[in-house]
Structure 1
């Protein structure tokens, strides 16, 4: 049993070197006496959402950033004099930065902290007096299971075999087979899909999990698991027909739809025309705000600055740490595709007087517009304008985890009878009057997904679910980039990617703490 204490810190005036820590609890909340009322349940649920927010926004290298760096759409970039940790991630090669044995340790810790909150809340459901409101209980349980599934899905894609905990525990357990992890993910999402209210998304508080978010994520998990592992169903829990059925439910009953103008989905691409964070296309977003500080408040988007132009601002784009976009992505778009200029900052194309070439590693002339930090017309960073003291950790743009266009394309990929119509909807929005029909098939859908979801943290996983052979051959390249203003050769090899099977480094600290119970992934 764990006690929650409010501590009083006293500093002795007689000796600045001594400090007395009083540990008498002012309030003593335990896992026995706290989980009693529906108010307690709501507080616990908020804690689960907070755990997800920290794990994805402030707990180490942001997964949207990592997912892009590992893909063929971005290079690790960063500063010309920085360490080479991002190069190691980008090139799947730890020899690029041998000392970086804990690249994702903060991520690992944040994930398991969030999972602990979910597991303990789920274990206390029967202890709470729900006052006969089974709908409320089912809703809270569903939201918590969605969060747990979301966390585990990110973790199992990153690391493969991981310790699987479905109840609060501090035991030192070995890594579970990935099939077992996916079975829990599938069961959690099926429960949420079946038990969350069947109401239009607009009837739910923004940021809360909906039935439609659960069904959409279930479709994504199905496609990834069956693709990467070569299976015909999702861990024996969900069939292809069932996965498609969930997506068709979202299309038919959620109230979600496409916004008319693609650029209005992204603040830096639309500015005063921005559709807002609760627009009809966003099926599920992880919420952030500008209140983060270095005193323990971690509500902000801590990863977005990685996508900013290296140490350079030009309205509306703010400076950042310089993860760069591969020029191949810019060139992949047709000139009539409105998504190109809405997704990518083109330095030359927008006549931006970028003058930090000497500071930028792996300069390409392109940066992420969808998740660019922003300044106002006076050059003030938006978090500072909103009242934050820390522009870097208080970016507040939400992370859009699932968009309605993804639901349409997933349903098309799974063989919907309306596949061509769904495919056309996405492309018609992109091309406007220049739209020319294209036959719907797997190859064209994958290409379209790259253009539609570029720089949103989706591309790498779309490649990997086609098999490590396809992923490695697509990502691998040798090219010339500018680092510190000097041309250098950048090489990403098929062999390095295949050696890791597309998985990431298990933090060495965790392996050490486990006494060797945890085993490092191949290639790291």
Structure 2
């Protein structure tokens, strides 16, 4: 674990990052001792505000339900899991059924607040960018604006996928704003990403300074354009991305990443993940196009820097070196394990198999929806004595001190998206990804839409991508793939688990808007169907 190095990008700037504590609709305005008359004057002021934007991104999943965890539970990769005596909020998500946990009317409440606070920070900086004196630093102006606009787009892309019709704020406001149409939101996302892609410097991965790892790059913006394009045009059945980006343009951006970014695939798939221990390629390796950075310095005194959601995915209250204990959320669907060929190295690198690894797991009585499989890509780690690696680094505890980054975009995704969008190099890109997975057992498979989607299923399991890949094929396709009746162990006892396709189609795959927000809006916000 010595090669896990943390670069603390989002340091605390108290006057810029403290959130308000009063209850009001879209409570997003930060408490600050600085005013418009004495701040936003210099590039240094802008940099501090930009750090506040990154900090806002870092904490969107510190409470509530994290987007990566929710995305897996909603998909066919995982069940809700958690403890045998816990509430049924994760089952409500997994089964798209509010009757599974009627009291959970604000499951995403903390996330809604955190997303809008983060958007607020971006909006403030973007709105003040012109009043700063950039003399002698003109290049920084576009760079800082591009980073802030990328972050805003990233935030809105999460939000519009989760909730569909959401309030759209492009300037600082805490008003009672009605929901915008998805097309309006996607237009802002597309414009922001296009600005970022066109204005960030074309610095290759090798040339990027180590102390800037984690910041938005041109390549991250270009890659995210591809992802947004595929989702929007697929889910909504549109010919282009909100009239801003065509298919040809989306592909051109991705091809630019391939040819100019310097990113590439690491040699061994397992080395992408910390559980590979000495083989770990490290954070910010050449395959990481964009990641949300975490550190082990979270505490209960206002520092929220850690990966607070990782503990949800650990084995229920039991460690087995190198895997640490956690809360047993998002237990792996056995169908995912079975989908891999025995020759596919990604299977053992992605999933902890209790039987295959001969783990003496004795806590079935404490685990809901036990399947015999847990997530390996994102899991707490311990040393051989059972001590949390995070605590060894100085973390407050193993719950809030986890520090594994969330890799939001990998280069493998760039290759597969480019292939899907019709690159003339589609077969070569497809083969690159599969050759790494199968090594000397590799045999070529003809690239096609169906083979690409199957490959994405195997390549990106437990990375928060699968659910959205299903939805962009159509709600009915997603419902058919996710729905099932199977058997799990609840507290050690056999139980039947049913996910209904009708529930998924009723909700259109969208999630519950927090009822607190609907109440605070005096009914201006409307709840999504099925919730």
**Bin of the TM-score, shorter chain as denominator length:** over 0.9
Deviation at 1:203, TM superposition (A): 3.0
Asked if the contact 1:201/1:210 (under 8 Å) is kept, the reply is no
Asked if the contact 2:311/2:325 (under 8 Å) is kept, the reply is yes
Aligned length: 501
For residue 344 of structure 1, the aligned residue among 347, 351, 369 is 351
CA distance in 2, matches of 1:85, 1:54: 21
Asked if the contact 1:4/1:30 (under 8 Å) is kept, the reply is no
Partner of 1:206: 213
Q: How does 1:469-480 map to 2 (within 5 A)?
A: 469-480=476-487
Q: How does 1:413-428 map to 2 (within 5 A)?
A: 413-428=420-435
Deviation at 1:201, TM superposition (A): 2.2
For residue 267 of structure 1, the aligned residue among 266, 274, 285 is 274
Residue 48 in 1 paired to residue 53 in 2?
Answer: yes
Partner of 2:264: 257
For residue 299 of structure 1, the aligned residue among 305, 326, 335 is 305
Partner of 2:116: 112
Asked if the contact 2:16/2:52 (under 8 Å) is kept, the reply is no
CA distance in 1, matches of 2:58, 2:16: 24
CA distance in 2, matches of 1:271, 1:490: 35
Partner of 1:378: 385
For residue 42 of structure 2, the aligned residue among 37, 40, 44 is 37
Partner of 1:237: 244
Asked if the contact 2:43/2:137 (under 8 Å) is kept, the reply is no
Q: How does 1:96-245 map to 2 (within 5 A)?
A: 96-204=100-208, 205-245=212-252
CA distance in 2, matches of 1:201, 1:233: 30
Does the C-alpha gap of structure 1 residues 5 and 94 become closer, same or farther in structure 2, counting only changes over 3 Å? closer
- Give TM-score scaled by structure 1 length: 0.94
Deviation at 1:383, TM superposition (A): 1.2
Partner of 1:276: 282
What secondary structure sits across from 1:243 in the alignment? helix
The runs of at least 4 aligned residues of structure 1 exceeding 3 Å deviation read 3-7
Q: What 5-or-longer segments of structure 1 have no aligned partner?
A: 8-26
CA distance in 1, matches of 2:160, 2:130: 29
Asked if the contact 2:479/2:505 (under 8 Å) is kept, the reply is yes
CA distance in 2, matches of 1:220, 1:399: 17
Asked if the contact 1:201/1:212 (under 8 Å) is kept, the reply is no
Partner of 1:389: 396
Partner of 1:15: none
Does the C-alpha gap of structure 1 residues 386 and 240 become closer, same or farther in structure 2, counting only changes over 3 Å? same
CA distance in 1, matches of 2:185, 2:398: 37
For residue 449 of structure 1, the aligned residue among 431, 451, 456 is 456
Deviation at 1:293, TM superposition (A): 1.2
CA distance in 2, matches of 1:50, 1:421: 38
391-400 or 132-141, which deviates more? 132-141
Deviation at 1:59, TM superposition (A): 3.6
Deviation at 1:6, TM superposition (A): 13
Residue 461 in 1 paired to residue 477 in 2?
Answer: no
CA distance in 1, matches of 2:428, 2:486: 39
215-224 or 295-304, which deviates more? 295-304
1:21-78: CA deviations, max 9, x gaps? xxxxxx94113311111111110000000000101x3142111000000000000000
What secondary structure sits across from 1:283 in the alignment? strand
Q: What 5-or-longer segments of structure 2 have no aligned partner?
A: 1-13, 19-31
CA distance in 1, matches of 2:110, 2:497: 28
Does the C-alpha gap of structure 1 residues 451 and 85 become closer, same or farther in structure 2, counting only changes over 3 Å? same
Does the C-alpha gap of structure 1 residues 6 and 316 become closer, same or farther in structure 2, counting only changes over 3 Å? closer
1:284-321: CA deviations, max 9, x gaps? 00000001112211110011111100001000000001
Deviation at 1:262, TM superposition (A): 0.3
Partner of 2:414: 407
CA distance in 1, matches of 2:474, 2:38: 49
162-171 or 291-300, which deviates more? 291-300
For residue 289 of structure 1, the aligned residue among 285, 288, 295 is 295
1:174-218: CA deviations, max 9, x gaps? 000000000000000000000000110233311000000000000
CA distance in 1, matches of 2:205, 2:266: 15
Partner of 2:495: 488
Partner of 2:76: 72
CA distance in 2, matches of 1:28, 1:229: 44
CA distance in 1, matches of 2:389, 2:203: 35
CA distance in 1, matches of 2:33, 2:270: 51
